[in-house]
Chains A and B, each alone.
Chain A
Amino acid sequence: MKVFEFMTTRLESVDSRKSVYDAVEKMVDRRIRSLLVRFPGDDLQDGVITARDIVYKVLAQGKDPQAVQVSEIASRPISCVSKDLPLREAAQLMEEDGVARLFACDGNRIVGVLSMMDAMAAMLILRARGEHVS
């Protein structure tokens, strides 16, 4: 199984100049844990902001999310992998880099995101098919 089979193709994003509060609103409404942060230039310039970043770097510090720009706390650059990367390798990469999501790229275009949940779901399906990823 390859990354492209289980990635999410619908990417939610927020502009880098928006406030953290805008990002929070989007995350709550869409019930997601992370957002792609759009920086000027091609997709490979983009970053990612996660709920973790928001809690650790803003809310727990007592800072005002409306006063902090997304670009200040976003992680850049994003980890990009080929959309044809085998799933097992993608999972190993997530573990090595300590990230909870990988962005699938086709050239310098982001085509999808594979989250931890996506990877888990994919592996459960492989198990059910009897093709265990050992």
Chain B
Amino acid sequence: MFLKKLIGHEDREKEVIRDMDSHLRLLQDGCKAFHEAIERNDHARMRRVKELEREADTIRRDIVSHIYEGAFLPYLRPELSKFVELVDQVFDLLEYASACYLEIRFPDSLRSEAARVAFLNQEMCGMLRLTLQATTAGEDLREKRLAIRIYEKRIDDLKFGLMHDAKAIPVEDFWEGKTLSDFLSRLSSVSDVIEDASDHLGIISSIIK
């Protein structure tokens, strides 16, 4: 086992990195499905989010077990796992939001703003994926992390607008109202966690130096 590590061609590490990229690709696909589902009020598309979340969960478990089976030096392992967990958190938020959406009759007055937030989330994921690629390549992350913060601030601005508009929606049923509120709060949190994940990549990049 030791000899393999000595002579082996970094196979395990490369596999972990490949899987982490796939994990993010799935997230991007999930955000895309989510955005399109809201824009076109397509329930079938919204259900796809859950399927993607399940696939992502499997990849996540593979990644973590490969990491702790001996990929990378011990001091890097918790940081890499933490990143994977953060990506998983985003997926959980997305999945929960999709479930909320399917439960209610989504008000059309909120549709375009919500779709816009979902679109920006999708773009943010793409940028996070580029940031991960840059981290594993040993490149400077500064511009990409700024880009992610820019997205997050834009979504922040839209968030309050959404909340404001939501108040104008008449709520006859408590659960309908609560579920809508849950949807909006999850939708808004996605960008916060993506930003956290990007910050974590910054940490990984600096401890390896």
Interface, chain A (partner B; CB < 8 A): 8-10, 121, 124-125, 127-130
A127 touches B112 (CB 8 A): no
A9 touches B150 (CB 8 A): no
- Complex Cα distance, B126 from A124, in Å, reads 15
**Contact check: which of B112, B116, B146, B158 meets A124 at CB < 8 Å?**
B146
**Contact check: which of A121, A127, A128 meets B154 at CB < 8 Å?**
A121
- Complex Cα distance, B161 from A30, in Å, reads 11
Q: Which residue of B lies closest to A125 (CB)?
A: B147
Q: Which residue of A lies closest to B150 (CB)?
A: A121
A9 touches B112 (CB 8 A): yes
Nearest CB of chain A from residue B109's CB, rounded to whole Å: 13
B116 touches A128 (CB 8 A): no
List, sorted by A's number, 7 A–B pairs whose CB atoms are closer than 8 Å.
A8-B157, A9-B116, A10-B161, A125-B123, A125-B147, A128-B147, A129-B147
Q: Which residue of A lies closest to B165 (CB)?
A: A10
Counting CB contacts under 8 A, is B180 at the interface?
A: no
Q: Is the interface of A mostly helix, strand, loop or mixed?
A: helix
Q: Which 7 A-B pairs have the closest CB atoms?
A: A128-B147, A128-B143, A128-B144, A125-B147, A121-B150, A10-B161, A127-B143
B154 touches A124 (CB 8 A): no
As a 0/1 sequence over residues 119 to 158 of chain B, the CB contacts with chain A under 8 angstroms (1 = contact) are: 0000100110010000000000001101100110010011
Q: Which of B113, B116, B146, B150 has the most chain A CB within a 10 Å cutoff?
A: B150
Nearest CB of chain A from residue B176's CB, rounded to whole Å: 25
A contact residues around B157 at 8 Å (CB) = 8, 10
- Complex Cα distance, B127 from A17, in Å, reads 45
- Complex Cα distance, B113 from A9, in Å, reads 8
Q: Which residue of B lies closest to A118 (CB)?
A: B154
Q: Which residue of A lies closest to B126 (CB)?
A: A129
Nearest CB of chain A from residue B157's CB, rounded to whole Å: 8
Q: Which residue of B lies closest to A10 (CB)?
A: B161
- Complex Cα distance, B158 from A124, in Å, reads 20
Nearest CB of chain B from residue A46's CB, rounded to whole Å: 20
- Complex Cα distance, B147 from A130, in Å, reads 12
Q: Which residue of B lies closest to A8 (CB)?
A: B157
Nearest CB of chain B from residue A133's CB, rounded to whole Å: 13
A129 touches B146 (CB 8 A): no
B contact residues around A128 at 8 Å (CB) = 127, 130, 143-144, 146-147
- Complex Cα distance, B127 from A15, in Å, reads 40
B contact residues around A125 at 8 Å (CB) = 123, 127, 147, 150-151
B contact residues around A9 at 8 Å (CB) = 112-113, 116
- Complex Cα distance, B149 from A130, in Å, reads 17
B contact residues around A127 at 8 Å (CB) = 143, 147
- Complex Cα distance, B120 from A125, in Å, reads 12
Q: Which residue of A lies closest to B134 (CB)?
A: A128
